Amino acid sequence: MTIVLLGYMASGKSSISKLLGKELELPVLDLDTYIERKEGKTIPEIFESKGEIYFRMKEHTYLKEILETKEAIILSLGGGTPCYANNMNLIHEYTKATFYLQTSIPEIIDRVKNEKDKRPLISKIADEDLPEFVGKHLFERNTFYQQATYSIFTDKKSVEALVKEIKENLN
């Protein structure tokens, strides 16, 4: 079975997928890491040298490539992946085990405020403008995120508690 984790930046996709993979004894694949390996560049380098349209086309191609293997994995998506190229429909052709890790704006701000330099999307946004930026972005992406089979609220929950909640939904 392929399990897909999606959500906005800092929703916990990477941390949760690692522990979930360990507990379910499934390999974990981070789509952004896969893209970087295939392209030989970091995501920010791809955006800078080739642009977002190129990146989104490659993201769709690699997502399809991964899903078509039909391997049992836990796949952690980039925050924007569900919102482009009909990717949610593509994902649901291969699995219904999709989890939206829903996180509030204040919680996201709290999680990213000290690591803005590692997140190209917000690296140049002033701290005081962050809540409005994140809120607007979440509003735009919410329609796509809500297409996930399950929504899990992440605020103030440990990674262990969230993994337990995902496993309960799988049974």
Give per-residue pLDDT as tens, 61-74.
999 999 999 999 99
Task: Decide if pLDDT at 30 tops 90.
Answer: yes
Task: Decide if pLDDT at 120 tops 90.
Answer: no
How far from chain centre, in Å, is Cα 150?
A: 14
Secondary structure class of 171 (helix, strand, coil): coil
Confidence of residue 123 (pLDDT cuts 50, 70, 90): confident
pLDDT for the residue numbered 124: 86
Domain regions of the chain by residue span: 3-170
**Mean pLDDT along residues 153-168:** 97
Task: Decide if pLDDT at 91 tops 90.
Answer: yes
**Mean pLDDT along residues 51-65:** 96
DSSP 77-117: PPTTGGGSTTHHHHHHHH-S-EEEEE--HHHHHHHHTT-GG
One-letter identity of residue 25: E
Distance between CA 26 and CA 158 in Å, rounded?
A: 21
pLDDT for the residue numbered 96: 96
Query: 142 vs 119, which has greater pLDDT?
Result: 142
Mean pLDDT, rounded, of the chain: 95
Q: Does domain 3-170 have CATH number 3.40.50.300?
A: yes
